[in-house]
Every structure is written in structure tokens, then in C-alpha cells.
Amino acid sequence: MVKSRSKATAIGNIPRNRLKNIPPKLRASHEYCYFLHDQCVHVLKEYLAAEANLVTVKFKSKINAAQFQKIAASEDTIAALRKTGYSKEAKRVILNQITIAMVSDCLHHIYEALRCFEKRKSVVAFNLLRKPLKDNLIYLTWMLGDEDDFYRNS
């Protein structure tokens, strides 16, 4: 009786020479992880291209705008927004910037971990995955679950 070895094939998005150290049965899964990573990067790029992270402030008056400019010249923009009565806008700026930074950082770590798996550096890869899965994911879910609480405590 002849046994045939069944092995999963790669999807074809990653060059074969990069997949040589990935076990054949895991190659499709590895490529799928890259696909998901690339989709997340694409969404982040579209988000930035649409300038969805920017906050536009409509000042109630020219006097209010002048106050903001005066305070912003000596302090940071967030403090100027708060002192001129635009705390909701200040909160939105902070949350937007934290979200972009954390998602971007998370995607960088995931990419590097996937590359380490290709080089059979499993310990390094798992260490790289620890940060996005333990730290960033907790903060992102906290932000999504209760952004007011996150803002108050950050």
C-alpha cells in the first residue's frame, strides 16, 4: 500500500523561497496572516488618506480663536483647547492619535513576527507577538469599550 503525503500548498502571495522554513501544512495559514496584516495596513492608510484622524474645531467667535492662538503659542494645543472650553475636541484629538499610534505599532510587531517565523526564529517571533496581543489589544478594547474611562485614566 502506497501512502501519499498530503501537504497543504501555499497560496502564492509570498515568494516560495521565503516559505521554505515554514512547515508545508502551515504555509497557507502563514500567508493568510500576511493577507490579514496587509488588509489592516490598507484600512489604516485609507483612514489617514481620508484625514479621519484630524479634528476640526469651529470656534464660537474670533475672540475665542484669538485666545486659542495665544495659549497655543506658549503651551501645547491640547492644553489650549481645554483652556478655551473645547475639552471634547481635545479628547477626540488624543484618542485619535493614540489609536493610530497603537494600531500602527501593533501592525509593525505582527509583520516582524511573521518575518521571524520565516527565518525559524520562533522565540523572537512569539516575543514580538506578545506586545500587540497583550498590551495593545487590551488598550484598544478598553478604548472601544469605554473611551471616557480610558481618557480619564490615561
How far apart, in whole angstroms, are the C-alpha atoms of residue 35 and residue 32? 5
How far apart, in whole angstroms, are the C-alpha atoms of residue 23 and residue 5? 13
How far apart, in whole angstroms, are the C-alpha atoms of residue 110 and residue 133? 9
More confident residue, 146 or 1: 146
Condensed to tens digits (0 to 9), the pLDDT of residues 13-65 reads 788 889 999 999 999 999 999 999 999 999 999 999 999 899 999 999 999 89
Which residue do the cell numbers 478655551 mark?
84
What pLDDT shows up at residue 16? 84
Q: Please state, in angstroms and as integers, the Cα–Cα distance from residue 132 to each residue in 6, 64, 102, 125, 129, following that order.
A: 34, 41, 8, 12, 6
Condensed to tens digits (0 to 9), the pLDDT of residues 117-150 reads 999 999 999 999 999 999 899 999 999 999 999 9
Evaluate if residue 1 carries a pLDDT over 60: no
Condensed to tens digits (0 to 9), the pLDDT of residues 73-123 reads 999 999 999 999 999 999 999 999 999 999 999 999 999 999 999 999 999
What pLDDT shows up at residue 12? 75
Task: With beta carbons less than 8 A apart as the criterion, state whether 33 and 16 touch.
Answer: no
Task: With beta carbons less than 8 A apart as the criterion, state whether 74 and 45 touch.
Answer: no
Domain residue ranges of the chain, discontinuous segments joined by +: 24-52+87-153, 54-85
Confidence class for position 10, pLDDT limits 50, 70, 90 = low
Evaluate if residue 9 carries a pLDDT over 90: no
